[in-house]
Structure 1
Amino acid sequence: MKLIKHDNVTPLHPPMEAREYKYLKHLASAMSLYLENPHGTELVCILGSGYEKDNRHALETWVAYHRNEVFETRLQGRSPLHHLIEKLENLLVN
């Protein structure tokens, strides 16, 4: 009889937190493409905590901060991406 080590087994259903994290990361990536400058650093001081290395990581921090809004928007049947882009544009204009 051969035993399977627990470390070598990948669960079929990742935990909810991991799926949420991945979804938020994809949203930040889409927003980064929308802004067309993911490797600059000008948004770090506006969107991030100040420790991010580029705009993309600052967007990930900002999207994670708005996590509850993202999932509420999804429950309402609206696109969280459009909601966040609108929110970001308002923030950058003001």
Structure 2
Amino acid sequence: MKLIKRGNVISLGTPLEVREQRYLKHLASALGHYLENPQGSELVLRLGSGYEKDNQQALETWVSYHRDEIFAKRLEGQNPLDYLINKIEQLVQS
């Protein structure tokens, strides 16, 4: 019986930069689920650099842009996803 998928396990030998990039990608995915997986590319101009192909890539770019804030929130013991949700709601409403 398998409890954990092998692809979800990161070995201790994995460089920190790779682990951080995976974490940011997971946060962008969770944010996409929160936004009910918006299809299309309307978020590219709002969140991305303008070169992304779709909303998910725009979310990944936006989350990467807030990398320092995300890791600061983690160090403070706060949930970075809650922080990003608040930030994106403010951005979309303005």
Q: Which of 1 and 2 has greater Rg?
A: 1
Q: Percent identity?
A: 62
How many residue pairs are counted as aligned between the two chains?
A: 84
* 1:34 alignment counterpart: 34
Residue of structure 1 equivalent to 2:23: 23
Task: Flag as ranges the 4+ runs of structure 1 deviating above 6 A.
Answer: none
Q: Alpha-carbon deviations, 1:25-48, whole Å to 9, x = none?
A: 000000001101343211000000
**Deviations 1:46-93, CA, capped at 9 Å, x for gaps:** 000111111100000000000000000000000000000100000110
In structure 1, list runs of 5 or more residues that go unmatched. Answer: 1-10
Deviation at 1:12, TM superposition (A): 4.8
2:92 corresponds in structure 1 to 92
Matched, 1:49 2:49: yes
8 Å contact 1:38–1:54 — kept in the other structure? no
TM-score (norm 2): 0.85
Q: SS at 1:19's partner residue? A: helix
Provide TM-score, normalisation by structure 1: 0.85
Q: Which blocks of at least 5 consecutive residues in structure 2 are unaligned?
A: 1-10
Aligned alpha-carbon RMSD (Å): 1.2
- Structure-2 separation of matches of 1:21 and 1:37: 20
Q: Does the residue aligned with 2:73 lie in a helix, a strand or coil? A: helix
- Is residue 76 from structure 1 mapped to residue 72 from structure 2 by the alignment? no
Q: How many Å separate the matches in 1 of 2:28 and 2:12?
A: 25
